[in-house]
Each structure stands twice: as C-alpha cells, then as structure tokens.
Amino acid sequence: MSKERSVGILGTGRYLPERVLTNADLEKMVDTSDEWIVSRTGISERHIAREDQASSDLAFEAASRALETSGVAAEDLDLIIITTVTPDMFFPSTACIVQEKLGAKKAAAFDLSAACSGFLYGASVATQFIKSGMYRYVLVVGVESLSKITDYTDRSTCVLFGDGAGAAVIGPVEDGMGFLSFDLGADGSGAESLKLPAGGSRKPLSKVEPGSRDNFLYMSGNEVFKFAVRVMGSACDRVLEKAGLTKEDVDFLVPHQANIRIIDSAMRRLGLSEDKVVVNLNRYGNMSSASIPVALDEAVSEGRIKEGDTLVLVGFGGGLTWGATAIKWSTKEKGRE
C-alpha cells in the first residue's frame, strides 16, 4: 500500500479593501464609543469593501498573491475552493467567477459554507484531494464582504465585522511536514444563534416585510461567546492529541479573530505567551472565514513563522461550527526541481 502524501501550504496571500472604518466613525453612526468597543472586543478599525466590490474581487486579489508566493501558475491549479457566507450570488459559485478571473481553466471550482470555520474546512477538503492523488494543487480562499449584510443601526453587531480575503495554495510537501491533523465539528442546535434570516428558501427576499432587518446578519452574542470559549480550547486539545503533540510543541497559535477575550482564553489554555499568538483583530475586526488566512499570511510575510515551526490554527463560527489544524510549517514542495 502506497504511503499517503504529506500536504501543506505552498504560498499565502491576502487582500484588504482600501476603505477603513474606525471606531470614531462608528461613534457618529450609532450610540457607542471607542472605549466601549475596544474594552469588549479589542477592535479599533476594520476594512470595508467599496459598493462596486464583491467577494470575488477581493478573493481574486488574495488568490493572485498566493499564487505568486507559491510559484504555482493559475493554469496548473486543479481545484478552487472559496469559503464564504457572502458569495457574489447564490449561483454560480464565487469559485467559478474567481476561476475565470484567474484564468485557471483546468480547475474544478466550488464554494463551501462553514462561516468563520470555513477556511479550515476548506483546507481539510483540499488536503484529502491531494493525499488521495486525485489533485496536486488546490487553491483555498476565505473571503467575506460582511459589510454587505451588516446592520449599521445595530450597535451590538456593526462594530464587529470587516471585509477581506486570505488565500493559500495547498499541495504536496516533504514527508512529515505540512498538515498533521484536523479537527472539524458542528452543533446545529446553535443554528439560530448566528444567521442571516432572509435570502434563502426559508424566507426569500421577496417575502421580507418593509422595515424588517431580516436581510441583515443576526447574532446572539452571549450564546456565541460561551460556545467559542468552550470549543476553541477543546478543539486545540484534540488536534494536538491527533498529531501526537503537546502544548509545549506549539510555536504559534493562529486563531479566528472574533474577540480578544476569546483569543486570550485559548492562549491561556495552551499556555502560550502573547508573542506566540497571531493577533490582528484590532486592525481588521472579525472577517469570518478570511480572518485565519489573513492572519497567517501576515505572520508569514513578516517573517514571524519560519520553516519547521509548529502551528495551531483554530476557529469557530455560525452553524455552529468549529475547526482546528496542526501544521508543521514548510512551503517546500515535494517533487519540484
């Protein structure tokens, strides 16, 4: 029986829209304050897409940069997975639109919806395709245009979310490197805690009453917070156990950027110092499925993450869902001369 391929990330990229929405700007829009937002969330500003920018536009920019850093050509991609809750439209998939923009003519393409856990779900799916030998190169892009579904009259949610895209080209790496384990999960009993009520078959937009806010994101903050604190720590524990690692082996934690108190809880659970945790929440807010790949790309491009480092990526989101992975970092492709 042939040995399974080792699979890892060959290159990363990110894109943030130019417009920045600060807490001072929000003070003029809703009854809130910079002190209130920072003390409860850790967020100071977030990036907002232009009216004429859709998720595919953001994804294309991040994907182009990931392809450049990986050295993989768009025409060599076998599959494109876009993870998002804000697709350009229900169909065709945003992945198909990005495929055309990139010129990745031989790539299969589909979208995956797991909210803020999406990038980890997508990376797991990509890894299985490559391990099996079916594909060699898979592009995974976490992208969100959450400003398009955010209610800027609701002070409990509008301070949280931002737009952006993070991408990774996934492929074969040297034996023993790359993704060591995954832990994915869902708890559908919490589906009502974080949702976009209207726009699907349950409540089509044509049935939304005038003045209703059902076409905007809804979140029960307390319920999601309690779930997140519980699941971030347990998912980290399980993914390390599956990989045969201990907390002491972890060089960096790259968590979903939702709330600084949730990140602090995961950091304490792993016994890590602040310099071992990648945090950009203050500058970008919660970008859902884009948050982990954007944070990862920043840490890599800044030289913080180096060859051979052990990383844990962990997130949670609507569904409710969660995901985690342990990675032995290497961007060296196996078999490339």
The residues annotated with a catalytic role in the active site are 116, 256, 286
Report residue 126 as tokens: 């990509």
Report residue 152 as tokens: 């800027």
Alpha-carbon distance 255 to 232, whole Å?
8
Angle (nearest 5°) at CA 136 between 119 and 9: 40
Alpha-carbon distance 298 to 304, whole Å?
9
Identify any residues that bridge with 164 across adjacent strands, giving them in sequence order: 144
Cis omega (within 30 of 0) for bond into 92: yes
Q: Please choose, from the candidates 118, 139, 143, the residue with its C-alpha nearest in 3D space to the C-alpha of residue 70.
A: 139
Identify any residues that bridge with 255 across adjacent strands, giving them in sequence order: 314
Distances (CA, A) of 51 to 19, 57, 283: 11, 12, 21
